[in-house]
Amino acid sequence: MIDTTPIQDLADFDPAEHLHNEADIADYINLVIEEGDAAELAHALGVVARARGMSEIARSAGLSREALYKALRTGSAPRFDTVSRVCRALGVKLRVQPA
């Protein structure tokens, strides 16, 4: 007989807990970019910012903590300037390559 665990007893998965360095962050963001969903990119940047500390990322990006939360909330569509500043604060950069 197989032991089963009810879904409500499973721990929530938080990708922020698995982002330990810039390489992890870059891999995660690249996977999200490949999906082509701008709102998901904003969410992923929010996950990474939480992993690094929202206050520190906001300060490094030149944003208030509240503005950072607002820009990276689920379903948002941040301006490219905001995405660029957050990426720089996270220690990663966006690059283009031929498809």
Residue from 99, 44, 49, 50 nearest 76 by CA: 44
What pTM, to 2 d.p., does this model score? 0.80
Distance of alpha carbon 97 from alpha carbon 99, whole angstroms: 6
Give residue-wise pLDDT tens across range 62-94.
999 999 999 998 888 889 999 999 999 998 888
Distance of alpha carbon 81 from alpha carbon 39, whole angstroms: 15
Give residue-wise pLDDT tens across range 25-65.
889 999 999 888 888 888 999 999 999 999 999 999 999 99
Give the pLDDT score at 5.
Answer: 84
Structure tokens of 33? 């970019």
